Structure 1
Amino acid sequence: MTEHTAPSSAQELIYGCMGLGGSWSDEPHGTDHVDEAAAAIEAALDAGITLFDHADIYRKGKSEAVFGEVLAATPGLRERIRLQTKCGIRLGEKGIPGHYDLSRDAILERVGGSLARLRTDFVDVLLLHRPDPLTDLAEVADAVGQLMAEGKVRALGVSNMSGAQIQALQDRLEVPLVANQLEMSLLKRAWLESQVLVNHAESLDYSFPHGTLEYCARNGLTLQAYGALARGLYTGAAPEDPTTAETAAATLVAELAGKYGTSGEAVLLGWLMKHPAKIAPVIGTVNPARIRACADAGRVAAALTRTEWYGLWIAARGTSIP
């Protein structure tokens, strides 16, 4: 793996590692999956990405495991990157389907497993993956305090939580929460629609908790957007029966990519990054070419005009905003 110098930026791209490690079965990963991970990491570094996002459940732990093998085989790599992982979801354990667990013992156990698979002494950021209705916030605070005191976790964030849920957790913590990871894209727009559909009947079509973006901005939490590339819907992954809106949005993405001399991926990510909430997109593809194609997103975010930004939104909606 060659040396890279990642550009510094307050607003960044994040590489999401959920696609690494092979299948979601119990079958062990192979050397080909390690090679795939190495190629994805290389491409991400080429694109200026230094934050890598994991979760203990991704590919049943295999995503972290193959990443750990690459780290072990690449001297100096750990010092050049930041690692983020999540805990709080159990997949089909103890005879019941997937469920949530943010108990003290579960947090400590799961973080320990992640560190072992990643072959590192600490993660830079730990995210609590999903809200657990049985959460004892005092237990969470105790577990996080222990992990930070032991140097195993350096910062804490959340995923899929509302502003009210974050505030309730923050009230029990001695450290500030640094991030909230949500599904946000040109396709999944509930976060955006909620901003303009106040006092409008159409608001009932969207469940996104109003005020969450504003809470994160006011309290300094980075908004991390997973699913940011919309699974290629607007950049070549043609569905069997595309809607008129999907076709129109894909056409406009291609036109803007041509205008700015860049990729469709960069246009999609730039559209997210132009929002004043300072969104950090998470890139989930394992295709090295598509990963590298994202590198230009910051430039596109700065170049997109207000008309072009709204044009993409309205095209994807398939109807005018109120």
Structure 2
Amino acid sequence: MRKMPLEKRGISDSRLVLGCMGFGGGWNRDPYTTEHIKQAQAAVEAALSIGITMYDHADIYTMGKAEAVFGQVLKQQPDLRDNIVIQSKCGIVLAEDGKLTRFDFSKSHILESVDGTLARLGIEYLDVLLLHRPDPLMEPEEIAEAFGILKQSGKVRHFGVSNMSPGQIRFIQRELPDELVVNQLEMNLARLDWLNQGIHVNQQAGLASNFAEGLMEYMQTENMQIQAWGPLARGRFTGKPSDNPSAAELATTELVAKLAKQNETSPEAISLGWLMRHPSRIQPVIGSANPERIIACKDAIEQAELITREQWNELYVTARGAVMP
């Protein structure tokens, strides 16, 4: 079995990641509670039970409470830190009401963000730090200075980005001595631009695609890990349909359920397995704090190996709601 890029670099062999955005309660300044800690503990235990050893955070998740609650989980289980990989993100600035105000890749903001994250998590270092969303004012030299300080001080071991194009990645990478190891993107059966961009080359339909051209090929060429946020499309095909589901959504939900029954597994495992079957070795970030839903993903790795080209393409075409061009 081929290894994924993070595994090749000795960072993580976890094919799935637990996204911790739902930890800590609401996106407000209300303090987290003992109940929130118990909920996070249950989610982590569920993740560990199916072999998930990598955990994804961001300094803004539930206004910092997600990291703080996870820190309490680590405090209760001191041995856990040495057996997991912790990833967090920085670069988004929120207002007091939780609304996004701007992006900030300045040296001072990056350094302050990491210090805050480490304090909330109660740990000495991050395994991976991602720049959350592109900052229009980003200066590669300044980012490199911040990364250098973090690496030399032992506060961050590896760096990556999120929601970036090949040009943006190259722009930053040119000043960095170490390779960026991750790019995290929205990818699921409802968000198909990452596939449509490729098959729509020299097609009129390509004008409607909203995805950086050549990004998938670039990531594979540079051996960067592609992580998929929102891989289950908020449950759209696994029991939580949108308010006004399209014909394509209904048909896809039916097909996912059919394949799950046929393979004696869950719809979640089919949806994730479809993503993971892609040659780029996509690493899904499961954004749920519900233990039952986390455990429902346990067969995803096996389903990625079992799914045939015919089944994969049937899911793709059905989700597209249109035949291949």
Residue in 2 that maps onto 1:5? none
For 1:169-213, what per-residue CA distance to the aligned partner results, in whole angstroms no more than 9, with x for missing partners?
111000011000000011111111111001111112111011111
Residue in 2 that maps onto 1:259? 262
CA contact (8 A) 2:14 2:53 kept: no
CA contact (8 A) 2:91 2:105 kept: yes
> Residue 18 of structure 1: SS of its match in structure 2?
coil
Q: Do residues 54 (structure 1) and 54 (structure 2) align?
A: no
Where do 5+ consecutive residues of structure 2 fail to align?
1-9
CA contact (8 A) 2:158 2:181 kept: yes
CA distance in 2, matches of 1:191, 1:238: 22
Letter of the 1:23 partner, please give it: G
1:241 to 240, 244, 255: 244
1:208 to 199, 211, 215: 211
Letter of the 2:142 partner, please give it: E
Letter of the 1:291 partner, please give it: I
Aligned Cα root-mean-square deviation (Å)? 1.8
Cα displacement (A) at 1:66? 0.3
Letter of the 2:144 partner, please give it: A
Point out the more displaced range, 202-211 or 36-45.
202-211
1:111 to 105, 111, 114: 114
For 1:229-272, what per-residue CA distance to the aligned partner results, in whole angstroms no more than 9, with x for missing partners?
11000010133332111110000001111111111000000000
> Residue 156 of structure 2: SS of its match in structure 1?
coil
How many residue pairs match? The answer is: 316
CA gap 1:227/1:30 in 2 versus in 1, 3 angstroms: same
CA contact (8 A) 1:265 1:294 kept: yes
Q: Do residues 282 (structure 1) and 285 (structure 2) align?
A: yes
Residue in 1 that maps onto 2:6? none
CA contact (8 A) 2:14 2:51 kept: no
2:17 to 11, 14, 17: 14
CA distance in 2, matches of 1:190, 1:307: 20
1:174 to 177, 190, 200: 177
Report the TM-score, using the length of structure 2 for normalisation. 0.94
Residue in 1 that maps onto 2:145? 142
Residue in 1 that maps onto 2:165? 162
CA contact (8 A) 1:11 1:279 kept: no
1:23 to 23, 26, 45: 26
Residue in 1 that maps onto 2:295? 292
CA distance in 2, matches of 1:270, 1:214: 20
Where do 5+ consecutive residues of structure 1 fail to align?
1-7
> Residue 126 of structure 2: SS of its match in structure 1?
coil
CA distance in 1, matches of 2:197, 2:123: 40
Cα displacement (A) at 1:93? 6.3
Letter of the 1:308 partner, please give it: Q
Point out the more displaced range, 275-284 or 96-105.
96-105
CA distance in 1, matches of 2:302, 2:100: 44
CA gap 1:31/1:149 in 2 versus in 1, 3 angstroms: same
Greater than 6 Å deviation, 4+ residue runs: none
1:194 to 192, 197, 201: 197
CA distance in 2, matches of 1:10, 1:221: 14
Cα displacement (A) at 1:313? 0.8
For 1:8-58, what per-residue CA distance to the aligned partner results, in whole angstroms no more than 9, with x for missing partners?
985610110001110001111111111110000001101110010000000
Residue in 2 that maps onto 1:3? none
1:82 to 56, 81, 85: 85
Letter of the 1:289 partner, please give it: E
Report the TM-score, using the length of structure 1 for normalisation. 0.95
